[in-house]
Structure 1
Amino acid sequence: MSIISVNDLAVSFGSGNDLKQVVKSVAFEVAPGETFGLVGESGCGKSTVLGALAGRIKGWSGAVSIDGDMVGPKRSRAQLAKQQMVFQDPFGSLHPRHTIGRTLLEPLEIHGLDRRQERVEQVLRDVGLPPGFRHRFPHQLSGGQRQRVAIARALILEPKILLLDEPTSALDVSIQAEILNLLKDLRERSKLTYILVSHDMAVIAHLCNRVAVMQDGVFVEIATRKQLLEGGVQHSYTKTLLDGSRGYIPHPR
């Protein structure tokens, strides 16, 4: 059974002569515990798909099921809590005048959860940060530490699904692998399901079981990790993306 099911999803912006269809009738399913990737060049519509799934973008049509529950553009708090988002920019996504503790407490207060200080300390440990970091401000943390806090904020409601929008692209190359390995470990430890948006085929190959390749708002191919690693893809655009990443994608063992 799929934990995420998307059928005929379409997203448009503007109206009249300015109407632009950004996502054009895409469909996919994601199994529990899977990492499903969305890859393509900037502007292809991959982040728009993620925004529609997250409930951030309201102007979509189609059928979306999350954890067996059909959802619409307007969601209940319980529906929103099942999936949380991690953004590209770990500094811009954190309030600069709030301590890390304040940032992590806010979702707990909104959803009326108990044991708040205990939950804050535990989720910091889960992402590899000392509990004392709750007293710090974002500017006192490195880029990698800020992204760990952003992941902690997404995890604190104990969601089943994380929606990851270019989670490593704003980080130094030396830190990217640490965050990818953290995400991999969290997925296995907490039985999470991911949808990962990236323009980087090496990142996709590192973390994803399958990937949908997007071009101009449509899926041109859905490939497995094995196909990516062995070059067994079919579409010319997918081959172009792979050629651009050659030397960065590890060979299968």
Structure 2
Amino acid sequence: MTPAICVEHLTVTFGEGMLAFRAVDDVSFSVMPGTAFGLVGESGCGKSTVMGAIAGRLTDWQGKIAIDGEPISGRRTLPQRARVQMVFQDPYGSLHPRHTIERTLLEPLEIHGLDDRDRRIGKVLEQVGLPQRFRYRFPHQLSGGQRQRVAIARALILSPKVMLLDEPTSALDVSVQAEVLNLLKTLQEDQGLTYLLVSHDMAVIAHVCDQIAVMREGRFVELTDKQRLIAGAVENDYTRLLREGV
């Protein structure tokens, strides 16, 4: 089976000469279709940089990235962009404050030239558990959890195969975090989505992900899975430190 995401020898360097900083240093991994892969580590370890390269937000990188077996470069076609969608960390900053929810969900449909827009919006709101009346509300009229559901809906509306989740619950109240994580798991099971989840929170990673890579200073220090992580059967001291901090 072809991996949904395949990353080989990814290296990302910022700056030049004496000021050069290697944020990601020769990272390789693959994610099979319908599974969830987690990148976990402290702030500045390089995990969001890996995601940025896969998402196309970073265009200057070395190595190979393929989605469903198709190599991609720094510049993406519209079909490639539709295939990989992203949910950002901050539900307060990722939605335009002057756009209604309907306007927010219409925008990707217009960019990609998709029709049957009213039905698509109604369907995706239902999928993320929001009432149809929310179409006409503005972000400031929604709670943080509701805003993040809108952000998830915006990513889903293009029917992607891969979703990139950048700390999707870290800006939410603890009481809401589990609701959003459970929604993501349900959507994955129902639609066969592939997830790449970035988090500093080992509990979030263990809740969602099948496979986990622990990052430190731009490199993977351990590759493990959910069962071994929960059981404490980890090999690296840094992984153990992160796990004990849950």
TM range (shorter): over 0.9
Alignment pair present for 1:104 and 2:113: no
Runs of 4+ in structure 1 deviating by more than 3 angstroms, as ranges, are none
Alignment pair present for 1:145 and 2:143: no
Per-residue deviation, residues 50-108 of structure 1 (Å, max 9, x unmatched) = 00000001111101110110101111011111010000000100000111100000000
The CA distance in 2 between the partners of 1:21 and 1:59, in whole Å, is: 12
Structure 2: state its 5+ residue gaps.
none
2:195 equivalent in structure 1: 194
Q: Secondary structure of 1:153's match?
A: helix
Per-residue deviation, residues 165-223 of structure 1 (Å, max 9, x unmatched) = 00000000000000000000000001100000000000011110010000000000111
Q: Secondary structure of 2:130's match?
A: coil
The CA distance in 1 between the partners of 2:96 and 2:132, in whole Å, is: 19
Structure 1: state its 5+ residue gaps.
246-253
Larger mean CA deviation between 85-94 and 12-21 belongs to 12-21
1:37 equivalent in structure 2: 38
1:250 equivalent in structure 2: none
Q: Secondary structure of 1:23's match?
A: strand
2:211 equivalent in structure 1: 210
The CA distance in 1 between the partners of 2:43 and 2:159, in whole Å, is: 31
Contact 1:122–1:131, Cα closer than 8 Å, also in 2? no
2:245 equivalent in structure 1: 244
1:51 equivalent in structure 2: 52
1:21 equivalent in structure 2: 22
Q: How far apart are residue 132 of structure 1 and its match?
A: 1.3
Map 1:71-86; keep pairs closer than 5 Å: 71-86=72-87
The CA distance in 2 between the partners of 1:151 and 1:168, in whole Å, is: 12
The CA distance in 1 between the partners of 2:119 and 2:19, in whole Å, is: 50
The one-letter code sitting in structure 2 at the alignment partner of 1:136 is: R
The one-letter code sitting in structure 2 at the alignment partner of 1:72 is: S
Alignment pair present for 1:161 and 2:162: yes
The CA distance in 1 between the partners of 2:124 and 2:233, in whole Å, is: 39
Q: How far apart are residue 16 of structure 1 and its match?
A: 2.5
TM-score (norm 2): 0.99
Per-residue deviation, residues 138-174 of structure 1 (Å, max 9, x unmatched) = 0000000000000000000000010000000000000
Q: Secondary structure of 1:12's match?
A: strand
The CA distance in 1 between the partners of 2:136 and 2:15, in whole Å, is: 43
The CA distance in 1 between the partners of 2:241 and 2:185, in whole Å, is: 27
The CA distance in 1 between the partners of 2:166 and 2:223, in whole Å, is: 19
- Over aligned residues, Cα RMSD in angstroms? 0.6
Q: Secondary structure of 2:64's match?
A: strand
2:226 equivalent in structure 1: 225
2:178 equivalent in structure 1: 177
Q: How far apart are residue 17 of structure 1 and its match?
A: 2.3
Q: Identity over the aligned pairs, expressed in percent?
A: 63
Q: Secondary structure of 1:65's match?
A: strand
2:8 equivalent in structure 1: 7
The CA distance in 1 between the partners of 2:18 and 2:133, in whole Å, is: 54
The CA distance in 2 between the partners of 1:185 and 1:149, in whole Å, is: 16
Aligned length: 245
TM-score (norm 1): 0.96
Q: Secondary structure of 1:129's match?
A: coil
